[in-house]
Structure 1
Amino acid sequence: MERINFSRYALTSKDELRGIIQAPHELVVKKTISVIDEHCERFISESPLFFLSTASAEGKCDVSPRGDYPSSIKILNKHQLIIPDRPGNRRLDSIHNIIENPNVGLVFVIPGLEEVLRMNGRATVIKDPNILETMSLNGKAPLLGIAVDVEECFIHCPRALKESKVWQPGTWIEKDDFPTITEIFQDHLKINGIAIKS
């Protein structure tokens, strides 16, 4: 299929948008809070997986999945938390973006729950060894941390996870019917002109 010129169908104003979809109920708007209350703290402490959304200075976006043991995120107070930056593939996409643009979004997930916790704020990449030492894993402290000044928190309704049936094993694919990650990785390298000899 040829590329489509999406601008032919684009909405160009908020007024046009609200002409199609009505404004949300007042309770949906008012559920947003600006503090980490006891419910948010409990949700974060039980979450082994979250997604970190960042953008560069030019506005190029990235979403990074982050997995760790529950309670790995250090909540300092009602307005601040610190995420340990564990060793990975060293691309540092999120870190680069935060240095350029501190605005971040987070989505926390608890296995088995269909609701998620959404959070927005401003991040700072820190290297304070005293703080990072308290976030050690297997005796090794992270080299960096992502400190977040929280601006918004709210529970998101279960529709997405409920409709996707993501927690229902009967809907999961058979792994043998799907290419291995190595095969996908090598095929993507080939697209970029790199062949790995077996």
Structure 2
Amino acid sequence: MEKINFSRNAITTEEELREIIGEPHELVVKKSISFLDEHCKKLISMSPLLFLSTANAEGNCDVSPRGDLPGTINILNKNQLVIPDRPGNKRLDSILNIISNPNVGLVFLIPGLEEVLRINGRATVFNDKEVLEKMSLKGKAPLLGIGIDVEECFIHCPRALKESNIWKPTSWQDIGNVPSIMKIFTDHLKLNGVEVKE
């Protein structure tokens, strides 16, 4: 299929968008709160996986999965939490984005629960040893922390996870035909002119 010019039928104003989609129900608008209440704190404490959305100053976006033991996120108070940044591949996509643009979005998942907790706010990359020590894993504190000043929290409806059947193993596709991650990794390197010896 040849490349499509998306701008040909682009929706460019809220008025155009509302004409197609309509207005949200008042309850949907008012479900958003500006701090971490006891429900939010409970969900965060049970979540082993979150997705961190960032963008740099130019608007280039990234979404990064962050997995850890439930309860590892450090909730400092009703307005702040800290995500540990454990050693990884040193690309630092999220960290570099936050340094140039602090606006972030978080999605917290809990296995078996089809609703997700969404949090929006402003992030700071910091190196406070006292705070980081409290998030040690196997005796090692994270090298950095991502401090989040919470601005908005709300529960997102279950439709996406329900329709995807993500928690139902009987609906999962057979991954036997999927190439290994190493095969994908080396093939992508080859596309960039890098040959990897087997």
| 1:130 aligned partner | 130
| 1:7 aligned partner | 7
| 1:98 aligned partner | 98
For residues 128-184 of structure 1, the C-alpha deviation after alignment (integer angstroms, 9 at most, x for no partner) is 111111111111111100000000000000000000001110121223221111111
Indicate yes or no: 2:172 matched with 1:172: yes
| 1:68 aligned partner | 68
Q: Which deviates more, 129-138 or 170-179? A: 170-179
| 1:45 aligned partner | 45
CA distance in 1, matches of 2:181, 2:170: 22
Q: List runs of 5+ in structure 1 lacking aligned partners.
A: none
Question: Which one-letter code corresponds to 1:118 in the other structure?
Answer: R
For residues 53-91 of structure 1, the C-alpha deviation after alignment (integer angstroms, 9 at most, x for no partner) is 000000000000000000000001100001110111110
Instruction: Determine what percentage of the aligned residue pairs are the same residue.
Output: 70
| Count of residues in correspondence between the two structures | 198
Question: Which one-letter code corresponds to 2:28 in the other structure?
Answer: V
| 1:117 aligned partner | 117
CA distance in 1, matches of 2:173, 2:12: 39
CA distance in 1, matches of 2:29, 2:52: 23
For residues 91-132 of structure 1, the C-alpha deviation after alignment (integer angstroms, 9 at most, x for no partner) is 000000000000000000000100000000000001011111
Is the partner of 1:76 in helix, strand or coil?
strand
CA distance in 1, matches of 2:175, 2:15: 46
Question: Which one-letter code corresponds to 1:92 in the other structure?
Answer: L
Question: Which one-letter code corresponds to 1:193 in the other structure?
Answer: G
Is the partner of 1:188 in helix, strand or coil?
helix
CA distance in 2, matches of 1:21, 1:119: 24
Shift of 1:191: 1.1
CA distance in 2, matches of 1:45, 1:85: 17
Shift of 1:193: 1.3
CA distance in 2, matches of 1:111, 1:33: 24
Q: TM-score, normalising length from structure 1?
A: 0.98
Shift of 1:2: 2.0
Q: TM-score, normalising length from structure 2?
A: 0.98
CA distance in 2, matches of 1:2, 1:191: 21
| 2:188 aligned partner | 188
The two structures, once aligned, show a CA RMSD in angstroms of 0.7
Moved over 3 A (4+): none
| 2:18 aligned partner | 18
Question: Which one-letter code corresponds to 2:15 in the other structure?
Answer: D
Is the partner of 1:184 in helix, strand or coil?
helix
Q: List runs of 5+ in structure 2 lacking aligned partners.
A: none
